[in-house]
Amino acid sequence: MFISFEDYLKDVAADPSLKQVAETIARLSEAAIEVQRAISVGRITKTTHGDNSGQNASGETQKALDVFADEAFLRAAKSSHVLVYGSEEQDVPVVFDAGSLALAIDPLDGSSNIETNISVGTVFSLLPVHASHKEAPAEAFQQLGKNQLAAGFFIYGAQLLLVMTVGAGTRTFIHIAEQGGFFLLNEMNIPVTSREYSVNASNRRYWSSGIARYIKDVEAGEDGPRGRNFGMRYVGSLVAEAYRILQRGGVFLYPADQRAGYHEGRLRQLYEANPIAFCIEQAGGSATDGTTRILNLAPKDLHARTPLVFGSQSEVETIAEYIHVRSA
Ligand code: P6P
């Protein structure tokens, strides 16, 4: 008998400090179902799959579906316990009239993958709004990632999944439309060691020497210093990489590189790296910027980027050793 998401959230809400978190995640899950429906109808409806509708705060092309997803999660945030909403699709945070939480969100990460039917997702992070933030709620986003109350991501793919943590392990829930909701699939546990790495190797010439040497050595396999063969997977969709690693281990790297705009990597600290890092750590893995724990990094601004390495603890530690050696 599957445990329903509602029953799980009732358990979470039994802790008074997490009651509003549980109620907010319940609302986010309803928005995710709405987004899944919009994605699944494909290019039939121009309203959601129309061509680019503009640019987001970072100058990235916005697709109609990015805007659709942002509006769905904005409504969900406003009708739950969110006071301040920070989104990749919004230049500045949106402040509501009341609430106790700060929601940092990438409403639809990897939307360009939809045209090729590759899984995409929504990544979210919930932080507490303290009394000291009341005058300037957006300052709640300046907290360390380790202050997150909850985090997770929805995957819009062959299945609609929710992967989440409230700091007591990481769980996956599957949406079963016929049963009218999400149900617990499993608690995630990342193997400490791994033979699988995930990186966009076309950027090799831009990497630091430490990263370049780590990838060169894993590619050398049993003939090289690692003494064993590795496999490589790269989807180009953060939620797909994260879920694969949660399921079977591995290590993902999106390092800083020498291209303009990539000196801090590509991925966003507040609404991609922090929530993924929280889920990965709670499943027994590690997440760093190459050398420093992601959840200990002080945020710079809402749309700040950070280099990101996450997955099986032993490989994340090995990558840090390669970076330290090459920088010595
Ligand atoms: P690249 C998708 O656009 C995304 O933001 C992440 O989901 C993904 O991990 C990354 O970019 C892929 O970037 O430069 O390898 O195409």
- pLDDT, tens digit, 9 for 90 and up, residues 251-294: 999 999 999 999 999 999 999 999 999 999 999 999 999 999 99
Tokens, residue 321: 């050793």
- pLDDT computed for residue 51 by the predictor: 56
What topology does CATH give the domain 5-187? Fructose-1,6-Bisphosphatase; Chain A, domain 1 (3.30.540)
Task: Identify which of 254, 266, 269, 310 to mutate to test ligand 1's pocket (most ligand atoms within 8 A of the CB).
Answer: 266
Strands (E), 260-299: 286-288
Q: What residues flank ligand 1, with Cβ below 6 Å?
A: 109-110, 200, 236-238, 266
- pLDDT computed for residue 254 by the predictor: 98
- Cα(100) to ligand 1 centroid in Å equals 32
The CATH classification number of 196-327 equals: 3.40.190.80
The residue ranges of the chain whose pLDDT is under 70 are 1, 42-55, 57-62, 326-328
Contacts of 36 (CB under 8 A, 6+ apart): 154, 156, 160, 175
Question: Do 5-187 and 196-327 share a fold?
Answer: no
Q: Do 277 and 123 contact (CB within 8 A), yes or no?
A: no
Residue nearest to atom 12 of ligand 1 (CA): 236
On the 0-12 / 13-18 / 19+ scale of CB atoms within 10 A, 70 is buried
- Cα(98) to ligand 1 centroid in Å equals 34
Task: Identify which of 105, 254, 306 to mutate to test ligand 1's pocket (most ligand atoms within 8 A of the CB).
Answer: 254
- pLDDT computed for residue 204 by the predictor: 98
On the 0-12 / 13-18 / 19+ scale of CB atoms within 10 A, 127 is buried
DSSP state, 155? E
- Cα(237) to ligand 1 centroid in Å equals 6
- pLDDT computed for residue 112 by the predictor: 85
CA-to-CA separations, 237 to 190, 241, 317, in angstroms, rounded: 19, 6, 24
The CA radius of gyration of the chain, in Å to the nearest whole number, is: 19
On the 0-12 / 13-18 / 19+ scale of CB atoms within 10 A, 176 is middle
Domain range summary for the chain, segments of one domain joined by +: 5-187, 196-327
Does the predicted model carry a pTM greater than 0.85? yes
